[in-house]
Structure 1
Amino acid sequence: MKTENIASGANSVSFKSKGINIAGVLYVPENFDSSKSYEGVVMTPPFPQVKDQVMANYGPKMAERGYVALAFDYNSKGESDSYEPNFRDDENMTRKWEDLRNAISYLGSLSFVEGINGIGFCGGGNIMSSTIITDLRVKAFASVSAMMASDMIQFANRNAFIQQVKAANAARQKMFETGEPVSHDYFGYEDPDYLEKNPDLSGTVAEGYDYYGTGRGGKETYPNFTNVLISTVFETAAINPGEHYADKMIQPYCGIVGSEADTAICTKAFFDKVTSEKEYHEIKGASHVGLYDIPENINKVVEIIDTFFKKHGTI
């Protein structure tokens, strides 16, 4: 962990999580002065993104508002190391919880950071909520297009859930016996004939392909990203303690969604359970993915988050 070369703008940083080297980017305000104090922000990305995608859009904007914002790649993803070299792109939620806690620790170790806030995007809201219920170093939490209520997604079709988990269990068994990774294209977006095979796409599914299946947000533009994941993902994807302990969360919460997002119900279901101070905001005319990379929407979201964090600030 090196902090002596931090300067205004985007800084490449790293820290350890259970012995694994985690790569990050620390976005720092203009005219940064290490002798001063700044509010910190730790960000968690949409599933299964790397730090170069959505967080690279929001990090500089938060720095413009005077925050020190941290984006990072989870273990085995992007530029971070893996627990085993050939087992990369393992979307294991329990490992992610640990990486997030160590990212919080990293921010807390910086002499110029006083107070830590959290922003969770899409599935990153799920990870953040599940972590901060027992990590009170994060004092305020905002989510953007968050898929918080995983029960209504993962368990909506019981038979589908069973088949997904059985396939994940079989992959785990094979990997244990062979020592080789078993992976699959989680969304199916790697298929060059995806649109032809799925002519009736709508809502978030159509948006997902428009983002992850094209140069807009896919590996053509972000080479460290991939839709191909270790096949045990379904074992932990359904685990979201934050959803079930929302009424125990003590941090103030701000949920932000697009008014046209069919996933907004997930944020609203979580929001309704929260008993701490809370706010709910809709960005008019925006969709789920529309809050990822459309500058006009990003500016509106950042304005809301900045106001919310300042309301609960420590500096």
Structure 2
Amino acid sequence: MTIEIKPGTNKINFKSQGINIVGVLYTPENFNSTKTYEGIVMTPPFPQVKDQVLANYGPKLAERGYVALAFDYSSKGESDSYDPKFRDDENMTRKWEDLRNAISYLGSLAFVEGINGIGFCGGGNIMSSTIITDLRVKAFASVSAMMASDMMQFADRNVFIQQVQAANAARQKMFETGEPVLHDYFGYTDPDFLKKNPNLSGTFAEGYDYYGTARGGTETYPNFTNVLISTVFETAAVNLGEHYADKLIQPYCGIVGAEADTAICTKAYFDKVTSAKEYHEIEGASHVGLYDVPENIEKVVEIIDTFFQKHSK
């Protein structure tokens, strides 16, 4: 069934490996399907759904004349799952395939001429790993991106081994029982989280303020959950983009909050990129501050618009 695309917010569907993916296409106020527009595909922070950060940026990008696509990965949000019992599976390699099919969806629209990519936080990993070999995306921007995962995943070898062994054990149990094994990786669903973690600082404190409260959590976004399938660490450490940054063909724009202690992850990736590149800091902003603070969003969108227009040909 063909869906008529109108100005504003459009609910859309496409298939990825036979699974129905639900997305939202944001179009300009004066949208006309007989004209052509620059397209943008967006990837959200881990482990978000399309209704959170992407819903803040989509309308703003549409105001700038873009057609912007946000979508829920398979097993997430409104999208279907390979198995109804195994929802909220944060499998990075499956996300690569979903992103490729999202790009295909945009490419199938007659009114989209040129596709750009924006990756937020962990979505930067997904985008950077995918577009190494997907040149349909012609320019790439990241926002608060956790691009250099090695410094996090492999910083402590013993911790890494414990995390992966726990993920492997969960996979074995799920295979043998046919039942999901779930885990809250950040502990935000614990009602005593703050009491148990009185000395939170930096990104950890910000994370709870967003995901553990109504600001960005399930109370406000019922399609979102902090509780995930327990195999995350099997694929979270496999970030191809970081190791192929010097092979990136597309122009790259890295945007971080000047106060974000995670900015080092974007900078490490940026330093390896050999294609045309830009690095921007938003003064006074933190990592999560680029998610939903209106004045920061306006600054980020201005940078991204200028960057994409510079590389529109």
TM over 0.5: yes
2:106 matches 1:107: yes
Corresponding residue for residue 148 of structure 2: 149
CA deviation vs aligned residue, 1:49-78 (integer Å, no higher than 9, x gap)? 000000000000000000000000000000
Number of residue equivalences: 313
Structure 1 letter corresponding to 2:2: K
2:263 matches 1:264: yes
CA deviation vs aligned residue, 1:234-255 (integer Å, no higher than 9, x gap)? 1000000000000000000000
Normalised to the residue count of structure 2, the TM-score between the two structures is 0.99
Corresponding residue for residue 126 of structure 1: 125
**Cα RMSD over matched residues?**
0.5
CA shift for structure 1 position 224: 0.2
CA shift for structure 1 position 2: 2.9
CA shift for structure 1 position 31: 1.3
Separation in 2, partners of 1:246, 1:111: 31
CA shift for structure 1 position 186: 1.2
Structure 1 letter corresponding to 2:74: N
Match runs of 1:137-286 below 5 Å:
137-286=136-285
Separation in 1, partners of 2:133, 2:187: 35
Separation in 2, partners of 1:311, 1:119: 15
Separation in 2, partners of 1:81, 1:187: 25
Question: Structure 1 regions of 5+ residues with no counterpart?
Answer: none
Corresponding residue for residue 72 of structure 1: 71
SS state at 1:89 partner: coil
Corresponding residue for residue 290 of structure 2: 291
Structure 1 letter corresponding to 2:272: K
Residues 2 and 14 in structure 1, CA contact (< 8 A), matched pair in contact too: no
CA shift for structure 1 position 146: 0.1
Q: Which runs of 4+ in 1 moved over 4 A?
A: none
Residues 23 and 79 in structure 1, CA contact (< 8 A), matched pair in contact too: yes
CA deviation vs aligned residue, 1:123-142 (integer Å, no higher than 9, x gap)? 00010000000000000000
Separation in 2, partners of 1:2, 1:48: 30
Match runs of 1:26-37 below 5 Å:
26-37=25-36
CA deviation vs aligned residue, 1:280-307 (integer Å, no higher than 9, x gap)? 0000000000000000000000000000
SS state at 1:187 partner: coil
Separation in 2, partners of 1:2, 1:81: 19
Separation in 2, partners of 1:145, 1:2: 36
Separation in 1, partners of 2:7, 2:203: 36
Residues 117 and 140 in structure 1, CA contact (< 8 A), matched pair in contact too: yes
Normalised to the residue count of structure 1, the TM-score between the two structures is 0.99
Separation in 1, partners of 2:13, 2:169: 34
Give the fraction of aligned pairs with identical amino acids, expressed as a percent: 85
SS state at 2:198 partner: coil
Residues 41 and 68 in structure 1, CA contact (< 8 A), matched pair in contact too: yes
Separation in 1, partners of 2:286, 2:301: 16
2:8 matches 1:9: yes
Separation in 1, partners of 2:266, 2:137: 19
CA deviation vs aligned residue, 1:231-283 (integer Å, no higher than 9, x gap)? 01110000000000000000000000000000000000000000000000000
